[in-house]
Amino acid sequence: MKLFTTIILFCFVFALFNSCKRDVPLFEINNLNGNKISCFGNAGMGVGFKFPINSYESVEPCLRIGADGTELDVQLTKDSVLVAYHNSDLNESTMCNGTINNMLWSDIWGCHYANAFSSSIQIVSLTDLFSNLNNPTNYVYTFDCKLYTAAADYTAYQNQFANAIINFKNAHQLRYDQVLIESPDTTFLRILKNKDENLQSFIYPSSFEQALDVTKTMGLWGITIDNEKITANQVKLAHENGIRVTIWNLHKDKENTDAIYKSPDYIQSDDIIHLLKVFGKYHQ
């Protein structure tokens, strides 16, 4: 009887001791972002959401449920208005036609998305988006700059786009670490850097090897890359060279988890709810 009581007491003490220990973290993050991963939605709630990416109706809930920020596809109108839109032609996702850079904002304003859930969702300028969001300066924004244009003077267009980005950042009093700029166009990234060397620009490459070389040569802030095109060891190599890494093309829980194990600095996910739940950030 004494032996039985002793065993029971030992088991109780062992269980109590283990319950008081800190839980082992699910993921050990080592990066240049304070050893934490910033969680961003892909153009809001992502491509699987009922409302269109880049719309206010997709961006607002993404931020409200706990995301650190969001990626936005950004284009430039003929009169230098920044517009959140992904495709090269309006007719690919909306009831309108034309290329944004060949149009004035007044020609585009009121253009509705072709959406099965609502006929009232409009294309939004970044200024209008920020005007309608609650506390927009509390978040981080990645501007994926879509340089779609038929302009005869491409360099002038790139300069116009760069000026619009800088003017928007300054007008809304965003810190440098709140505006991350992505582009595959090294000339555009160089123009941005020449205008303001503190801008945090990311190369959008076809391969990690290309990205590492360009980023080191140009002194860029980071690399933004498809999850399938980078390994954990390559992320580590980027970090060893002082280069931040953003991973995207994540649509499922498993893909989020795979990306997390690589310890990037930022993740852009189409399954933002799962990503936020992993890190205990999600709230309805």
Q: Evaluate whether residue 14 is within a structural domain.
A: no
Alpha-carbon distances, residue 178 vs 69, 70, 211, 253 (angstroms): 9, 10, 22, 26
Asked whether the beta carbons of 104 and 96 are under 8 A apart, the reply is no
Q: Write out the two tokens for 160.
A: 């116009």
pLDDT score at 19: 39
pLDDT score at 36: 97
Q: Which run of H or of E encompasses 38?
A: strand 38-41
User: Cα(44)–Cα(224) distance, rounded to whole angstroms?
Assistant: 17
Biggest CA–CA distance in the chain, Å, is 94
User: Cα(101)–Cα(116) distance, rounded to whole angstroms?
Assistant: 27
Q: Evaluate whether residue 1 is within a structural domain.
A: no
Q: Evaluate whether residue 22 is within a structural domain.
A: no
Range of the domain at 237: 30-278
- Say which residues have a Cβ less than 8 Å from residue 147's Cβ, sequence separation at least 6: 157, 158, 161, 183, 185, 188
Q: Evaluate whether residue 265 is within a structural domain.
A: yes
Ranges under pLDDT 50 in the chain:
1-25
pLDDT score at 27: 80
pLDDT score at 26: 65
Q: Evaluate whether residue 149 is within a structural domain.
A: yes
Cβ burial 56-77 (10 Å sphere, 16+ → b, else e): bbbbbbbbebbbbbbbbbbbbb
Give the CATH number of the domain where residue 271 resides.
Answer: 3.20.20.190
Count of domains observed in the chain: 1
Classified as helix, coil or strand, 77 is coil
